[in-house]
Amino acid sequence: MGNFDPLDNSDTQEAALCISLCIERRTGEDGQKTYYLQSAVVFLILSIVFMIIGISVVFQDSRINLLEIPFLVGVVIYAIISTIRIQTKR
C-alpha cells in the first residue's frame, strides 16, 4: 500500500465531488418521477379503455363502448392538469 499523508486531502475532495454529483443526479431523477407517475396513470386509464373495448367485442354490444367516453375525457383532463402542476412546482 501507499504512504498515508494526513495533509493530502485530494481523496477527500474527490469523495466530496462524487457525493455532490450523486446528489445532483438524484434530484434530477426526483423531477422525472412526477413524469413517470403521470405516464403510469395515463397508461392505466388507457388500459381500462382497451379492456372496455375488448369486453364490447366479446359481448358484441356496442353500447358498452359508451363507457369509454368518460375515461378518454378524464385522461385528457388529467394529463393537462398534471402537466400544469408539474410545471408550476419547478
Range 5-24 average pLDDT:
54
Residue-level pLDDT at 77: 92
Query: What band does 79 get if pLDDT is binned at 50, 70 and 90?
Result: confident
State residue 7 phi and psi, 5-degree precision: -85, -15
Residue-level pLDDT at 35: 74
The residue assigned the cell 493530502 is 8
Burial tier of 77 (Cβ tally within 10 Å: 0-12, 13-18, 19+) = exposed
Q: Which residues are CB-contacts of 82 (< 8 A; sequence separation ≥ 6)?
A: 34, 38, 41
Q: Which of 8, 76, 14, 17 is nearest to 45 (CA)?
A: 76
Q: What is the pTM of this model?
A: 0.57
Q: What does the domain layout of the chain look like in residue ranges?
A: 32-89
pLDDT one-digit tens code per residue, 37-58: 888 888 888 898 899 888 988 9
Higher pLDDT, 21 or 42: 42
Range 63-78 average pLDDT:
88
